Amino acid sequence: MFITFEGMDGSGKTTQAQLIALALRGLGWEVLLTREPGGTPLGDQVRDLLLQKNSAPMNPAAEFLLFCASRAQLVNEVIRPHLAQGGIVICDRYTDSSFAYQGFGHGLDLDYLRHILDFATGALYPDLTVYLDISPKEGLKRRAAASLFGEEINRIDEMALEFHHRVYEGYRQIGLAETDRWAQFDATRSQEEVQRAILTLLQTRAPALFRTHKTRSK
Ligand code: TYD
């Protein structure tokens, strides 16, 4: 099973992805937790280029293609082999981030993006997407608070508030179009509440994950 976590900066999706990975490992599953951009040696180099605050000015199409380069490497080197072995992959951000940030945020043509994303990933799309819903203003406020404790503000966090509003609207539209795999959670609730809600959803959507754990852990 391939599960992705999506949401605005500051939605807490990284923490939730880690907690769900732990819970599924506790059931005996081989869980690979990874993130975008990054997750491979090449991807981590591309991540630096994309997120460094002092990087050279970046054209939106160039930005999108760099995200795709990191993603193509991650899918082929890490995600597909793990899925082929019967494991679960949890990815912190994936193609929906490109639609939301580069498509809706920067205004790149969504049909072009889909074709190039299909090329980069071999049309691998998630079985389930956990979307943590938080308004741009609240998300950026949390991000700013976290930065006081050492969390880095990256180049994309620094985009204007209107950009983040367009990204948020993008996520809303993706959710409306992708009802089969999209599961939305209110990210302003406590960490425990959100975690419980995600686990409950998983039990309903993928009961087999919870039934087979005794045999998997042998
Ligand atoms: P990161 O520090 O990983 O932030 P977060 O914890 O919010 O995931 O930075 C990733 C940034 O890159 C984030 O601002 C979203 C952006 N992004 C895109 O614009 N397009 C993409 O395809 C991906 C994967 C990320």
CA of 32 to the centre of ligand 1 (A): 19
Protein residue whose Cα sits closest to atom 24 of ligand 1: 36
pLDDT for res 55: 80
- Asked if residue 39 is part of any domain, the answer here is yes
- Asked if residue 111 is part of any domain, the answer here is yes
pLDDT for res 217: 47
Question: What does the radius of gyration of the chain's CA atoms come to, in whole angstroms?
Answer: 17
Q: How many domains does the chain have?
A: 1
The structure tokens listed for 51 are: 């997120």
- Asked if residue 186 is part of any domain, the answer here is yes
157 lines ligand 1 (CB under 6 A): yes
- Asked if residue 79 is part of any domain, the answer here is yes
Protein residue whose Cα sits closest to atom 12 of ligand 1: 156
Say which DSSP state 79 is in: I
- Asked if residue 99 is part of any domain, the answer here is yes
Question: pTM score, two decimals?
Answer: 0.95
pLDDT for res 92: 98
CA 67 to mean position of chain CA atoms: 12
The DSSP bridge pattern shows strands 31-35 and 182-186 to be: unpaired
Q: What is the rounded (10 degree) CA torsion for 39, 45, 51, 54?
A: 160
Query: Any idea which residue has 């999108």 for tokens?
Result: 64
Strand ranges inside 8-147, DSSP E: 31-35, 88-92, 128-133
End-to-end CA distance of the chain: 20
CATH number, domain with residue 102: 3.40.50.300
Atom of ligand 1 nearest to the CA of 35: 3
- Asked if residue 52 is part of any domain, the answer here is yes
- Asked if residue 217 is part of any domain, the answer here is no
pLDDT for res 151: 83
pLDDT for res 153: 86
- Asked if residue 218 is part of any domain, the answer here is no
15 lines ligand 1 (CB under 6 A): no
pLDDT along the chain (218 residues), means of 10: 96 97 97 98 97 90 98 98 98 98 98 98 98 95 86 88 97 97 97 98 94 56
Angle between the 60-74 and 110-121 helix axes, to the nearest 10 degrees?
30
Which domain, by its residues, includes 19?
Answer: 2-210
Protein residue whose Cα sits closest to atom 22 of ligand 1: 98
Protein residue whose Cα sits closest to atom 11 of ligand 1: 156
